[in-house]
Structure 1
Amino acid sequence: MIEIEHLNVWICAGAREVHAVRDVSLALEPGAHLAIIGESGSGKSTLLLAMLGLLPPTAEVSGRLVVDGVDVLQGPEAEFNALRWRRAAMVFQASSNPFSPVRTIGRQLGAVLRFHGSTPVAARGRVEDLLAMVRLPTSVAAAYPHQLSGGMRQRAVIALALACAPKILLADEPTTALDPIVQAEIVELLFSLSAQLGLTLVLVSHDLQLVSHMTGDLAVMQAGEMVACGAVGELMARPTHVHLRDLITALPRFELTEAP
């Protein structure tokens, strides 16, 4: 489903060039779940953007990157348009950005569906199904983005990503600026939907605590390199890289004590 071989990404910012992704290789089968963690600047979001060919024009890329049969580095733009949203979709980091503030959630979901060929009647029915899928009431269709809480907006963003029934879902820091309880709910929703719909899920996060109990694989990035990759439980029990050991050591630990 996703094949990456010796991927390198350089981002040019004026006279400065940043080697954002360094020689990353990865293979994901259909239905696989992968969480990618790392601190800010480790290259995890850049890797995710590369999977959909969404890197800035100043980026230079080498290696091999194939997503659902499409060569993202060499294929024509027409193939990218067929890939994006219909076969692979992304949940972006800021929940307000994908939505216009002057149109209701229902109208914006419907516009995406009609753009991709749905009739108005079919689009209305699909909007109701999508809201139910992400556990939002149908009344949200008539609401404007600013009328929703952060958690509800992020659920609407997930509905937007699922609108065209993609086979691959990429989620870039989908819990940013949410409180811990809502963060856990959003992550649980993503994994639940992925299992239910048979999606290949790639989730980017800086929060090891949040993804440490998930099922699937875990990849750790540091300074653009993927320094560890394997099953979540195995890596958490037996970390294979010093950076992962440091991250595990830094996790908060809570102990119950009896009241005096």
Structure 2
Amino acid sequence: MEGLVLTVKDVAATTGYSAQQIRDLEGLGVISPAARADNGYRRFDAGHVADLRAYRDLAFAVGPVDARGVMSAIRRLPLGEATELAGSLHTRLRRQRDRALAARRALEAIGAEARTDAEPEAADAMTITQLSQALGVRASTLRFWEREGLVEPEHARTRAGTARRYQVAAVRHARIVAALRAAGYRIPDVRQAIAAVRDLEDVGRSAEALGAHADAISRRWLALLRASARLAEIIAPGVPGSP
């Protein structure tokens, strides 16, 4: 295909995008502007095909909105900024995968702990301050989780009013919530997970779901790696990748 002049129909047949999608992506700066023949028709080349294939991988990796923004931006940004932008996509996926794996490890540890725990004792209970410090979250966050039905502390009357006491089960649920939220799960998803882990057998299934989530991120990362070679060529055409 090198050196060939391609029509929009040729590119559509090669990439699987429709002619209108190709025109739209050209207008958005995802691919470079096509040359025009004397009759006004667009003339594409192998570079446009490579751009569209990179865009497909990039859209799978980070989503179509971000993919369009990145591929448009790297064409006009200075070398350093364009390289940093492309590199940030790898950083984002790595962090997402690390959070998912950390959450899975937390669930597995909690499941093992749960199987060996005796009945909660008062001595094992934690105050809201102690639990917030242990989890590294604000006390207001724990109160929010309680309102959402994710954690169920006991309420004891004191001279100063009502105090929350988190027994072993409530502490365990708070740890699960913290792990899932750190992995990027939304409150409705966390609520479903907490409902599941109240049955200890479901802790393992939740851990498996997080493992599947991490694997899905790995597949997205692989797509990003495929797209990266073309991104580098767009940022610095013809520049070798090593000294």
The TM-score with structure 2 as length reference comes to 0.25
Greater share of residues in strand: 1
Between structures 1 and 2, the one with greater helix share? 2
Could you say which structure has the larger radius of gyration? 2
